[in-house]
């Protein structure tokens, strides 16, 4: 099989007609012309363009392909093209293109040229020029077929041809020789290019699926450092392997359930344990978008306090993400379980609070893009066998450019008790929204209590108000988990409560950035006095369009710059230990 810009060439010894094939195919991403400068705006334009093209391609009047040109930035344009073979159904075409789009996000959407090729469809986009200069943007009739001379351009990529049956017809033999000679030469070149850059498999890799590099250059090289975040390689699993590993996604292997998928424990034949998130059947387009968001973000991030994405699966209607397995489940399973809570001694809790803070600092400050998680809570903090915390579940996350720190949405999403007041009341979110969620978690970790929400009359005092009242009355030990009191430095406990109160201040600009929070947790510095919470978050009028615990809010959003008013150099004064 070979893909040209003008056509696709394919033959096989089995029936290939009216059969949708969207299994793993070749993908190409070219960053040689540089990377997209405004990645946030670009990804929004890309999502809009691809949604429109896929809808146009699968409409009743479609000719099975569509292209578009959309402007972004001051003078740049995004050129997009999608196509399905005409023999498959509209539903199969849609599924194939969405699978291709998922593969594109793992390849590297920030590159200027990305192309994904499947047997039944293809998807391309670039910022360098249109794919089909003689074709209308969204054609209603197929273009006239050109005369039969051989295409002038070499194929983008080719698969080795399958062996075909013999024929007694001399004409067929002559034709076969001519075709095989030309196609075979191209396939042989492609084969040697692939072999030249392919790594020799180790014994471990022979037992598992092949790895797919995050960015493969057009010249055959491999770009191993994406955005300065280190090597990014992912294994591409087939669905059968993951089904066997999870015992057909049995209930006994279920680890948890999120807004767009269920997480299962899987064990491969070589004994490797994995956590496998499967996109729920019948999930809306919103769930698919959250799934794509998580894949896109985790493909770009590497940090010891973030959950690691090790692979994915995209076959027909099945979409799965594969993560490292966390043997100790999530923080809430320990923190709010009376039987497991004693296992969280002071050293362990301190390790967890500092680890979460460093993971957030990386998301907000140290990665190339600013990433707002928007759903931080103990259930989304996973623990490995050494109780190292890993931030997980990025389905609601937002990506900003470095200068952008603020956004707004008309649909409120997240978990009650952890959402910042400005987010609940106006839809405004920023890195300070995550700081608020972290402050609530810090108070929960110190107190061993859940920030329970109540709509009773009068409303029950929530954790942040209770903690501030006791801290202000110099009675903070009354809210401290009794398990800690006999085996912890009391001064450190008081400092952690005060840090938590600084993080949950009602004015977002008065909350410290995560860089300052890490400094407060790890260094002997003087702390500012926190402002009093003005009301319980249970008393806020929940918007009519509140989406619930795990629903995403992406209908319409805007981003703009904001200047922090928390000055680390003035607020924190080093003091002797």
Catalytic residues: 375
Q: Residue 483: CB partners within 8 Å, gap ≥ 6?
A: 341, 342, 344, 345, 448
**Token pair for residue 414?**
């997240």
Q: Looking at the DSSP assignment, which residues form a beta bridge with residue 383?
A: 389
277 labeled part of a ligand binding site: yes
Q: Which residues contact 446 (CB under 8 A, 6 or more apart)?
A: 349, 479, 480, 481, 484, 493, 496, 497, 500
Q: Exposure of 394 by Cβ count < 10 A (0-12 exposed, 13-18 middle, 19+ buried)? A: buried
Taking each helix axis from N to C end, the angle separating 431-447 and 514-522, rounded to the nearest 10 degrees, works out to 30
Residues facing residue 28 across a β-bridge = 115
From residue 62, how far is each of 59, 82, 93 by CA, in Å? 5, 12, 11
> 204: helix, coil or strand?
helix
DSSP state string for 241-272: HHHHHTTTT-GGGEEEE-SSEEEEEEE-TTS-
In DSSP terms, which residues pair with 349 in a beta bridge?
none
Vertex 230 angle, CA 388 and 436, to 5°: 45
| Contact present, 453 and 537 (Cβ < 8 Å) | yes
- In this structure, how many other beta carbons lie within 10 angstroms of the beta carbon of residue 148? 5
- Which whole-number Å values give the CA distances from 25 to 96, 292, 430, 446, in the listed order? 11, 18, 38, 50
Tokens of 246: 């999870």
Which long-range contacts does 51-54 make (Cβ < 8 Å, 24+ apart)?
53/80, 53/81, 53/82, 53/138, 54/82, 54/94, 54/97, 54/98, 54/101
Query: Which tokens go with 300?
Result: 């770009």
Annotated binding residues for ATP: 277
Annotated binding residues: 277
């Amino acid at each position: 099989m070979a893909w040209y810009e003008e056509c696709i060439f394919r033959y096989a010894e089995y029936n290939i007609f009216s059969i949708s094939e969207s299994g793993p195919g070749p993908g190409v991403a070219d960053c040689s012309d540089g990377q997209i400068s405004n990645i946030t705006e670009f990804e929004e334009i890309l999502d809009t363009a691809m949604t429109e093209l896929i809808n146009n391609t699968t409409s009743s009047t479609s000719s099975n392909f569509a292209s578009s040109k959309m402007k972004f930035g001051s003078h740049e344009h995004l050129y997009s093209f999608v196509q399905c073979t005409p023999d498959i159904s509209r539903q199969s075409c849609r599924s194939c293109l969405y699978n291709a789009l998922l593969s594109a996000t793992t390849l590297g959407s920030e590159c200027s040229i990305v192309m994904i090729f499947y047997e039944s469809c293809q998807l391309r986009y670039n910022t360098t020029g249109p794919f089909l200069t003689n074709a209308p943007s969204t054609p209603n009739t197929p273009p006239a077929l050109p005369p039969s001379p051989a295409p002038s351009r070499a194929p983008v990529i080719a698969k080795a041809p399958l062996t075909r049956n013999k024929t007694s017809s001399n004409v067929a033999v002559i034709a076969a020789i001519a075709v095989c000679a030309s196609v075979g030469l191209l396939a042989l070149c492609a084969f040697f290019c692939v072999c030249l850059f392919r790594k020799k498999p180790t014994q471990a890799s022979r037992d598992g699926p092949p790895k797919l590099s995050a960015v493969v250059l057009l010249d055959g090289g491999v770009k191993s450092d994406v955005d300065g975040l280190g090597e990014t390689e992912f294994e591409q699993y087939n669905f059968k392997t993951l089904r066997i590993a999870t015992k057909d996604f049995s209930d006994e292997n279920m680890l948890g359930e999120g807004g767009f998928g269920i997480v299962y424990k899987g064990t491969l034949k070589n004994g490797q344990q994995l956590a496998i998130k499967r996109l729920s059947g019948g999930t809306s387009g919103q769930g698919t978008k959250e799934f794509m968001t998580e894949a896109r973000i985790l493909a770009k991030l590497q940090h010891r306090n973030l959950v690691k994405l090790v692979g994915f699966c995209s076959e027909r209607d099945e979409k799965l993400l594969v993560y490292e397995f966390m043997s100790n489940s999530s923080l809430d399973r320990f923190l709010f379980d009376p039987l497991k809570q004693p296992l969280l001694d002071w050293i362990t809790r301190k390790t967890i609070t500092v680890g979460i803070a460093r993971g957030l600092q990386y998301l907000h400050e140290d990665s190339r893009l600013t990433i707002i998680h928007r759903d931080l809570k103990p259930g989304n903090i996973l623990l490995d066998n050494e109780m190292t915390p890993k931030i997980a579940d990025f389905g609601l996350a937002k990506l900003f450019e470095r200068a952008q720190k603020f956004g707004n949405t008309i649909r409120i999403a997240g978990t009650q008790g952890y959402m910042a007041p400005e987010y609940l009341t106006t839809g405004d979110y920023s890195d300070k929204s995550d700081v608020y969620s972290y402050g609530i978690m810090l108070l929960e970790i110190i107190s061993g209590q859940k920030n329970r929400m109540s709509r009773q009359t009068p409303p029950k005092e929530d954790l942040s108000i209770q903690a501030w009242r006791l801290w202000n009355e110099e009675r903070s030990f009354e809210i401290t988990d009794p398990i800690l009191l006999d085996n912890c430095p009391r001064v450190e406990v008081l400092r952690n409560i005060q840090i938590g109160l600084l993080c949950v201040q009602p004015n977002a600009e008065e909350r410290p950035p995560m860089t300052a929070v890490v400094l407060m947790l790890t260094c002997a510095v003087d702390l500012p006095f926190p402002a009093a919470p003005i009301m319980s978050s249970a008393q806020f009028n929940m918007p009519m369009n509140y989406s619930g615990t795990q629903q995403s809010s992406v209908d319409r959003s805007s981003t703009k710059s904001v200047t922090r008013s928390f000055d680390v150099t003035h607020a924190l004064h080093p003091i002797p230990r």
